Structure 1
Amino acid sequence: MDIIIYTVIGFAIGIILLPLIRYWGITFKFVDRPNQRKLHVSPIPALGGVVVFLAIAAFFVLQPSLTAFPQWVLFILLLTALFLTGLLDDKFDLPSLVRLGIQLGCATLLALNGVKIDSLYGIIGIYEIPEMLQIPLTVVVITGVVNAFNLIDGIDGLAGGLSFINSTVLAVIFFMIGLQEMALFCALLSGVLFSFLVYNFQPAKIFMGDSGSLILGFIFSTLGLYIIKIDVSKVYPIEVNINLAIGLVALPVFDTVRLFAERILQGKSPFAADKNHIHHLILNKHQGHMKASYVIYIVHCVFVITSLVSSRLPLSILLTILIIEYFLCIFWYRNKNLSPKPDSDYLLITEEEG
């Protein structure tokens, strides 16, 4: 079966190339250095995104004639721009306005070429939105999801694991509805992410880096918009619609919105660094990064399953359910009385700065 073959190809690309990329990162100083906010005690290469990008490039070599998504060429060009932005940021720490400007530019180009939101699907009673608002709304959504995935990349195995779950779910869904091309893309992505997790689980030998988190956020925001537009009424007992797209990105997006709101209410900049992300809250209550990551995997899977089984419900109801689930998790871990056992290899690691 092709979907299994492409998964194996993605895994093989990662397993073969990651040791080489890790060596290259150490040699050329593409590393995440320890500081007062981080737990690793020695520099760790932050080039996991390189192998993800190379696997995606391999997909386009294996599938030179693509038709399912008319914007494939533009998509890979924009993905390349974000990859290079993340790579340069990992090395030289680019100004935040430069990073944001490139993200906004990529989102705008995608929206101008037809990948855009034209409805709110009943949220606050609004369905079709004026054309003049479609592109700005799409740009905000894509940029927001990209940054949400960047910010959730905070402990070993987290961003890679959430992305692995997303790509696996999408591979299965696309296969079930007969979109072979999209299924193979997601299968290959799933395979390479699984290989990355082998090296990223604690103690991490390599981090995802901005070069990876930016392109993963862009991939899932774009695939989410693609899902909204495909003409498929149902897959067995479920429908493939915007509810699934929301479920795939809800956790990192909710966490980013909560953090920004809390910082603003406290009189701080919404971009001020702190340790209030969901992974920080859970890490403070559990023994080690992997246990914290596993808990967040479960929460994310609950979100995705909720979106699938609620596929026939109005979007506003699904959002209400997901928000309740999210804040129940936050409330539980803010009030849960556990004494974490310090990691032997780490003190309090985070991969990101925001």
Structure 2
Amino acid sequence: MAYAWELALSAFLISLAAQFITVRYSKKFNLFIDSHLEEKPQRFHQDSTPRAGGIGILLGMFVLLFTPIGWKLLITMILAFFSGIFEDFRRSMPPRIRLLLQMIAAGAAVVLMDSVVRYLGLGIYLPYLVAITFSIFSIVGLMNAMNIIDGFNGLASGATLLILLSLGHTALLVEAREMFEMILVTGSAVFAFFVVNFPRGKIFLGDGGAYLIGFVVALIGIFLAGNYPRISPWYILAILGYPVWEVIFSIYRKLRAGCSPMQPDAYHLHMLVYRHITKNNPLTSLLLLGGYAPFILLSSLFPHNSKANILILLTFILSYLLFYRFLSKKEQAA
């Protein structure tokens, strides 16, 4: 166990150093800069800021090479990272190519790490090929979900840390030591980014960083649910409730309005909270994470219980919808 903490400290220090280096040289050479002068519906910052925080997280996670299965994760997550870093570098990648890279990364990870969920709980089993497809779809979905909630300082990274805390606790319960090491290293690398990003937003995750943390979290969750019968897949889904439901509701909302689900807009929950409640970037993240954390805590108490986690998830969705409706009325009245 002491070795795992040594790896975690190394990941934190490497990631932290890389964040500061990235901030300095991105501004010096005008690389990965997200200009505050560009008009985008999802922009809520006042300074030009590098959006390459994923570089430091990735470098920090290279200490996983010193773990038995870490190399399998590194090979696949590098591909996942590169599906987004081109956008951060101002190299526009066609959405189909980006999606293809994400699917290849997810497919390779599912095979290399045997991260397949066949039993969904409640007596439901999936055929093997269907289970593989479902697992790949889930990983790609969470990659994009993390990118969607990455709108304010500390929001996506804070949500990731809460999720990893729960996964780490559960991994210890089922004695999944290798997974615990992976969770600890990932959390340490992400935390190093968090302390630079929150509250002042000196650096952003960027597409590469958001895809990276979404990929790793999804893969860990699927591995635990697929390889440890004491862990319910519904527990994994419940602790991922916020990013997962945000992307599902966003697709529904845009289709209902006759818009493309791929088209960015300014009506995500975090944006409405900012405009009508906090009017403050880091405070928006604190409010949303404070509302999300109790649901994660509740699910963490029942990682084996599908029915309890379904109830927790439905309660979260209902709470989200009521809150969104309240904010929508304020939006219409504005």
Indicate which of 72, 75, 88 corresponds to 1:74: 72
TM-score of the pair, normalised by structure 1: 0.83
Please report how far the alpha carbon of residue 146 of structure 1 lies from its aligned counterpart in structure 2 after TM superposition: 1.2
On the 8 A contact 1:246/1:307 being kept in 2, the answer is no
Change (3 A) 1:179 1:131: closer
Please report how far the alpha carbon of residue 189 of structure 1 lies from its aligned counterpart in structure 2 after TM superposition: 2.0
Please report how far the alpha carbon of residue 28 of structure 1 lies from its aligned counterpart in structure 2 after TM superposition: 4.6
**TM alignment of 1:216-295, pairs within 5 A:** 216-231=213-228, 233=230, 240-284=231-275, 285-295=277-287
Distance 1:313 1:178 in 2: 18
Change (3 A) 1:184 1:332: same
**TM alignment of 1:33-112, pairs within 5 A:** 33-34=35-36, 35-36=38-39, 37=41, 38-60=43-65, 62-63=66-67, 66=68, 69=69, 72-91=70-89, 92-112=91-111
4+ runs deviating over 6 angstroms: none
On the 8 A contact 1:156/1:290 being kept in 2, the answer is yes
Change (3 A) 1:102 1:309: same
Counterpart of 1:19 in structure 2 is 20
Counterpart of 1:115 in structure 2 is 115
On the 8 A contact 2:61/2:189 being kept in 1, the answer is no
Distance 1:128 1:333 in 2: 34
Please report how far the alpha carbon of residue 119 of structure 1 lies from its aligned counterpart in structure 2 after TM superposition: 2.9
On the 8 A contact 1:50/1:212 being kept in 2, the answer is yes
Counterpart of 1:190 in structure 2 is 187
Q: Give unpaired runs (5+ residues) of structure 2.
A: none
The letter for the 2-side match of 1:23 is R
Q: Secondary structure at the match of 1:99?
A: helix
Change (3 A) 1:225 1:169: same
Q: Secondary structure at the match of 2:184?
A: helix
TM-score of the pair, normalised by structure 2: 0.87
Q: Secondary structure at the match of 2:240?
A: helix
Q: Secondary structure at the match of 2:278?
A: coil
Counterpart of 1:321 in structure 2 is 312
Please report how far the alpha carbon of residue 148 of structure 1 lies from its aligned counterpart in structure 2 after TM superposition: 0.7
On the 8 A contact 2:120/2:233 being kept in 1, the answer is no
Q: Secondary structure at the match of 1:120?
A: strand
How many residue pairs were aligned?
Answer: 323
Q: Secondary structure at the match of 2:124?
A: strand
Please report how far the alpha carbon of residue 312 of structure 1 lies from its aligned counterpart in structure 2 after TM superposition: 4.5
Residue-by-residue CA offset, 1:41-80 (whole Å, 9 max, x unaligned): 33211111011101111231x33xx0xx5xx443221111
Counterpart of 1:306 in structure 2 is 298
Distance 1:169 1:254 in 2: 18
Change (3 A) 1:173 1:15: same
Residue-by-residue CA offset, 1:241-262 (whole Å, 9 max, x unaligned): 3233113322101010001001
Distance 1:139 1:15 in 2: 31
The letter for the 2-side match of 1:283 is Y
Residue-by-residue CA offset, 1:183-220 (whole Å, 9 max, x unaligned): 22222222222221221113211001111111111111
Higher helix proportion, which one? 2
Distance 2:223 2:168 in 1: 14
Change (3 A) 1:309 1:167: closer
Change (3 A) 1:55 1:206: same
Distance 1:179 1:288 in 2: 40
Change (3 A) 1:230 1:118: closer
Indicate which of 152, 155, 163 corresponds to 2:152: 155
Please report how far the alpha carbon of residue 176 of structure 1 lies from its aligned counterpart in structure 2 after TM superposition: 4.2
